[in-house]
A and B are shown apart, each in its own frame.
Chain A
């Protein structure tokens, strides 16, 4: 196994070297500089993505690990993914998952106080971080390879025997509350939050935000129970890259995860009961001179058979930077926004959204919305040009090696695929990636545009000065009510401490 692995890496390097050597050999310096870049000639770049099977190990102690040795620098990077997440929080304990994650690496361990542990890690210049997000937990340790054993022994205690020191719990709560108080300060924060409510519904677990009450109610017993429930080797997937010997590292990992002091549970499936908002314009009033706009439609999961055409379609419409239709019109043609584009990410566990977004001065918000709507509509009416399709495909295909640009990216990419089930379901995903892109036709793009892009279904969120935005701009015969006949709904700001909608003032 080890030899095979080493061979494949050597082969990979050799292929690159050949490609470059060929390039040098065929170039003639005497050539004139051409007028256009198409007249330049390039040798093909031979590249095959790394094969996950070459790095994958099922540890006896439970986790699946991906090991990618690399001796360029005297550093080791260890990334542990944990099957846990915000979705596992009890109803009245919003914030518990995040706080558990935060305190693992910051609350001390059985044998060390938080201060002793942090001081030691700092002296070793070792970076240790822990967190729990929506659908996973993450621990990252980056340290000098000479300190590997000491680092691993600290990591073991952090994972298996965290202390959750009382003063650190109190401090974390205080810091959480500081964050909570700022929830309405940034218009971008308001936008992100309200997007979540419109896209997935008030009842969806991802919209159960922490409150002052839920944070204050979290106890050490809650943290310990959450930790014991999910932080168990059977729930871990591991990515290791850097300066180590593969066989030795396997032994070290077995020790790291062996003889776990408690039994954890198997987490239940992630709930998928999302509910998309009624079409219409939703506005949150905020005193800023630039309106933030997000235009959303129900989206896809990443394993949808149409996902590759969706990716290409979105790239042409708004995901592909300057040359995408939305950017070209809203920004370059009209100068209406600095940032404009669209995203059509596939969800791992449940469909996400199609979202077109931009920020424009209050008075031009309605006009810019009308332009984006036009571009969305056009995608469903006419096929994209052959040139556009080819550019999008070349971009995905020729930039593909960047997915595995570094050794730590290789390890983390494969660990993530393992964690999210992609490796089991489509082990050849990356091997076939470029062919799947290449196979997309203009008719596929038109078909998925028609499947997903329904302008009359758009939920349009605006955060900005309501009165100014409603006025529109004298140069453009467009208002919010003309672009979306379903009317404008004002969304009240939410009280940052309770997340309950605040009573709107009886203005106008």
Chain B
């Protein structure tokens, strides 16, 4: 009955499994028509400390969708601290020096004591890892495997948590927004960006300025370790306990060899519990400096006034001392086809990835068009393989242009009675047609019409406009929201043929095939055998 979602999943993150993600990507990037492209009237400002501000005034409802994007994601991590960008996203809701505690001084003192104990616990955890490597224990997370010293330290730590909790104003950051009529507060982390957003009533714009600038200027990462556990539960929920989560993670890691897209956004299981508050503090100092942030407002406000408020609130945050380091490692050229043959709790299916072009690359527009030619119920793959040869029950395609590199994906569900190999060959056959002959004008126009219509559909409300700006800015350039449409309309049949031939080659692809795992009882017996071995 209210706009509050009962099972709100507030802070969170990460792109999901590959096939699912393609649908998400299509939802934000497929569309349009030969009408005049609709421009999003964005006002851009740079604050005195280098922070960027984008504003779109829209008087449809008495509300403002406000957000900001930090130009940091999992691709700015390194082995050992994977999952930090995402953990950070969670920590940014924990409050400030004045939000979240009744006694900031005592709160700070307890946090230091907690860190001292955690240092000792980390030393014990290093011993556990060593015991695991030697084969003395088989599970790093089982409570029975913890050392006596660790258990004793944990007890001391928990006492400090209890003391801190007595001073805390629980989840006060959320409380303030909620009381003010804020809605849909959330955040996400991807490989390339971390973004935070909320809708506030139009008269509460200054509250947004206060809250968002305070959590950047005076953040306190309290409850760091229980939040780490929350993130581990998030990993269990999304990756471990879903039929394809673990496989999608493995396939992605197989595909991305050298770029920092090699590890999952949520982090490797060994890294999440090992991230220290110091790792987090260092990360914040570099990547959450104002020159690495872009604030975005869409809705009912006066831009001049909002600009002045932004300078007053965000402008007071000192510029970072250190420029964030560039991501240097490029994806190495793939020299041979890679394959993963999985057995999972799923219908048989096929998922194929090719290395293509990153966000803003001149070929990315033709690749978007190519993906759309293959997609939907009137697209090539559905007509050829679902309706035509009838070896699939569903198919999809998408171009995922990320900041540092891009990939093209095609996938399909195998119809009962057929095999993944048949479908895989069927998919190649459809792609080969596009490499040999230019797509007919009518078909190309259909796709362009859909891109053009989307130029309007994306403008239906404040929040989707905000999310589009966040995405484009996070991937590298908000202006693409107005420029990509024109570039897509300019794509020719020859361009499509060229990019299909250039990128969709055998040696450039990675293939995952899935077969249904044998029956439950067989797998249970196997599990039982594994347990006895341990």
Q: Which residues does A use to contact B, with CB under 8 Å?
A: 13, 16-17, 19-20, 23-24, 27, 29, 33-37, 40, 42-45, 47, 72-75, 106, 115, 118-119, 122-125, 142, 144, 167, 171, 174-175, 177-178, 181-182, 184-187, 287-290, 292, 302, 307, 311, 314-315, 318-323, 327-328, 331-339, 341-346, 357, 359-361, 363, 390-391, 394-408, 473-475, 493, 505, 507
Does B415 lie at the interface of the complex (its beta carbon under 8 Å from any beta carbon of A)? yes
- Inter-chain CA distance A142–B453, complex, in Å, is 10
Closest to A242 in B: B460
Q: What are 9 inter-chain pairs, A to B, with CB distance below 8 A? A: A29-B312, A73-B38, A287-B527, A311-B2, A332-B226, A336-B229, A359-B237, A402-B183, A407-B60
Query: Does A144 lie within 8 Å of B241, measured CB to CB?
Result: no
* Residues of the A chain whose Cβ atoms lie less than 8 Å from the Cβ of B393: 171, 174-175, 178
Which 8 residue pairs spanning A and B have beta carbons closest together?
A398-B181, A335-B229, A343-B6, A125-B453, A335-B226, A288-B241, A290-B236, A322-B174
* B323-345 interface with A by 8 A CB criterion: 345
Collect the chain B residues with CB atoms within 8 Å of residue A319's CB. Answer: 4, 6
* Cβ–Cβ < 8 Å partners of B242 in chain A: 186
Q: How distant is the Cα of A465 from the Cα of B316 in the complex, in angstroms? A: 52
Bound-complex Cα distance A167 to B461 (A)? 39
Q: Which of B7, B199, B227 contacts A339 (CB 8 A)?
A: B7
- Answer whether residue B35 sits at the interface, using C-beta atoms and an 8 A cutoff: yes
CA distance A40 to B208 in the complex (A): 11
Known A-B contacts A42-B207, A323-B171; the reply to A73 vs B456 at CB < 8 A is yes
Q: How far is the CA of A142 from the CA of B376 in the complex (A)?
A: 16
B106 at interface, CB cutoff 8 A: no
B residues 145-198 in Cβ contact with A at 8 Å: 165, 170-171, 174-176, 178-183, 185
Q: Does B93 contact A (CB under 8 A)?
A: yes
With a cutoff of 8 Å between Cβ atoms, the chain A residues found around residue B178 in the complex are 320-321, 323, 391, 394-395
| Additional A-B contacts beyond A73-B456, A290-B237, A395-B4 (11; CB < 8 A) | A20-B300, A42-B207, A45-B203, A73-B460, A123-B446, A125-B33, A319-B4, A391-B179, A403-B3, A405-B461, A406-B60
Q: Which of B31, B175, B233, B301 lies in contact with A391, CB distance below 8 A? A: B175
Interface residue B505 (Cβ < 8 Å from any Cβ of A):
no
A328-B171 in contact given A43-B203, A359-B236 (Cβ < 8 Å): yes
Which B residues have a C-beta under 8 Å from some C-beta of A? 1-4, 6-10, 12, 31-33, 35, 38, 59-63, 93, 98-99, 143-144, 165, 170-171, 174-176, 178-183, 185, 199, 201-207, 210-211, 223, 225-234, 236-237, 240-243, 300-302, 305, 308, 312-313, 316, 345-347, 376-378, 386-387, 393-394, 413, 415-416, 442, 445-446, 449-450, 452-454, 456-457, 459-462, 520-521, 523-524, 527
Would you call A40 and B206 a contact (CB within 8 A)?
A: yes
Expressed in whole angstroms, the minimum distance between the Cβ of A398 and any Cβ of chain B is: 2
The answer to whether B241 touches A402, judged by C-beta atoms less than 8 angstroms apart, is: no
* Neighbour of A29 across the interface among B223, B308, B386, B454, CB < 8 A: B308
Give the nearest-CB partner of B218 in chain A. Answer: A35
B449:A123 contact, CB within 8 angstroms: yes
Chain B residues whose CB sits within 8 angstroms of the CB of A29 once the complex forms? 308, 312
Among A144, A174, A184, A315, which residue has its beta carbon within 8 angstroms of that of B453?
A144
Partner of B241, one of A16, A174, A289: A289
A393–B35 alpha-carbon span in the complex (Å): 46
> Could you tell me if B4 and A406 are in contact, using CB atoms closer than 8 angstroms?
no
Known contacts A33-B312, A42-B207, A405-B63; A290 and B233 CB within 8 A of each other: yes
Rounded to whole Å, the gap between the CB of A492 and the closest CB of chain B is 11
**Min CB gap B140→A, angstroms:** 13
B237 lies within 8 A of A332 (CB): no
A290 to chain B, nearest CB (A): 4
CB distance from A477 to the nearest CB of B (A): 13
Interface pair B4/A122, CB less than 8 Å apart: no
The answer to whether A36 and B98 touch across the interface, beta carbons within 8 angstroms, is yes
The answer to whether B203 and A125 touch across the interface, beta carbons within 8 angstroms, is no
Interchain nearest-CB distance for B256 vs A (Å): 25
CA distance A74 to B38 in the complex (A): 10
CB distance from A432 to the nearest CB of B (A): 13
CB <8 Å contact, B302 and A73: no
B233 lies within 8 A of A332 (CB): no
Q: B201 touching A123 by the CB < 8 A rule? A: no
Using CB atoms, name the residue of chain A closest to B344. Answer: A185
Determine the chain B residues whose CB is within 8 A of the CB of A396 once the complex forms. Answer: 2, 4
List, in ascending order, chain B residues with CB within 8 A of A345's CB: 1, 6
> Given that A171-B387, A473-B143 are contacting pairs, would A118 and B378 also be in contact in the complex, using a CB cutoff of 8 Å?
yes
Residues in B with CB closer than 8 Å to A40 are 206-207, 210
Expressed in whole angstroms, the Cα–Cα distance for A339 and B235 within the complex equals: 12
Chain A contacts of B35 at CB under 8 A? 74, 144
Q: Say whether B143 contacts A475, CB under 8 Å.
A: yes
| A333→B226 contact, CB < 8 A | yes
- In the complex, A397→B3 CA distance in Å? 11
Q: How far is the CA of A315 from the CA of B416 in the complex (A)?
A: 46
Is B6 in contact with A342, judged by CB distance below 8 angstroms?
Answer: yes
A122 x B376 contact (CB < 8 A): yes
Output the least CB separation between A347 and chain B (Å).
12
Please name the residue on chain B nearest to A34 by beta carbon.
B210
Contacts of A43 in B (CB 8 A): 203
Q: Are B233 and A336 in contact (CB under 8 A)?
A: yes
Contact partner, B4, options A118, A185, A315, A507, Cβ 8 Å: A315
Residue of B nearest to A402 (CB): B3
Closest B residue to A39 using CB positions: B210
A13 to B387, CA, bound (A): 50
B229: A residues at CB distance < 8 A: 334-336
Which B residues are in CB contact (< 8 Å) with A342? Answer: 6
Complex interface: chain B residues within 8 A of A493 (CB): 520
B183 to chain A: which residues have CB within 8 Å? 399, 402
Beta-carbon nearest neighbor of B382 in chain A? A118
Query: Would A35 and B171 count as touching, CB distance under 8 A?
Result: no
CB–CB B524/A177 < 8 A: no
Roughly how many angstroms separate A402 CA and B233 CA in the complex, as a whole number?
32
A345 to B203, CA, bound (A): 30
Chain B contacts of A335 at CB under 8 A?
Answer: 225-230, 233
- In the bound complex, residues from chain B placing their C-beta under 8 Å from that of A122 are 376-378, 446, 450
Contact A321 B4 (CB under 8 A): yes
CA distance A17 to B98 in the complex (A): 34
In the assembly, what is the distance between CA of A406 and CA of B6, in Å? 22
Distance in angstroms between the alpha carbons of A327 and B185 in the assembled complex: 15
How far is the CB of B446 from the nearest CB of chain A, in Å?
5
Q: Is the CB of A42 within 8 A of B206?
A: yes
Cα separation A399 to B347 with both chains bound (whole Å)? 43
| Nearest-Cβ distance from residue B488 to partner chain A, whole angstroms | 13
Q: Which residues of A contact B201 (CB under 8 A)?
A: 45, 398-399, 401
A288 touches B61 (CB 8 A): no
Q: Which residues of A contact B445 (CB under 8 A)?
A: 123
With A287-B523, A320-B4, A405-B63 given, is the CB distance from A331 to B460 under 8 Å?
Answer: no
Output the least CB separation between A195 and chain B (Å).
13
List the B side residues contacting A73 at CB < 8 Å. 38, 456-457, 459-460
Do the beta carbons of A174 and B415 come within 8 Å of each other? yes
Complex-state Cα separation, A331 to B237, whole angstroms: 14
Taking a contact as CB atoms under 8 Å apart, the answer to whether B301 and A20 are in contact is yes
Note all chain B residues with C-beta closer than 8 A to A473: 143
Q: Contacts A178-B393, A289-B240 given: A399-B182 contact, CB under 8 Å?
A: yes
Cα distance, A23 to B316, chains bound together (Å):
23
Chain A nearest CB, measured from B29 CB (Å): 15
The answer for the CA separation of A390 and B181 in the assembled complex, in Å, is 12
Report the separation of the CA atoms of residues A43 and B10 in the bound assembly, to the nearest whole angstrom: 29
CB closest chain-A residue, reference B217: A33
Q: Are A16 and B62 in contact (CB under 8 A)?
A: yes
Contacts of B241 in A (CB 8 A): 187, 288-290, 292, 359
User: Which residue in chain B gives the minimum CB-CB distance to A17?
Assistant: B59
B2 contacts A178, C-beta separation under 8 Å: no
Contact of B176 among A24, A37, A187, A332 (CB under 8 A): A37
Partner of A341, one of B8, B33, B144, B457: B8
Q: Smallest distance from the beta carbon of A284 to chain B beta carbons, Å?
A: 12
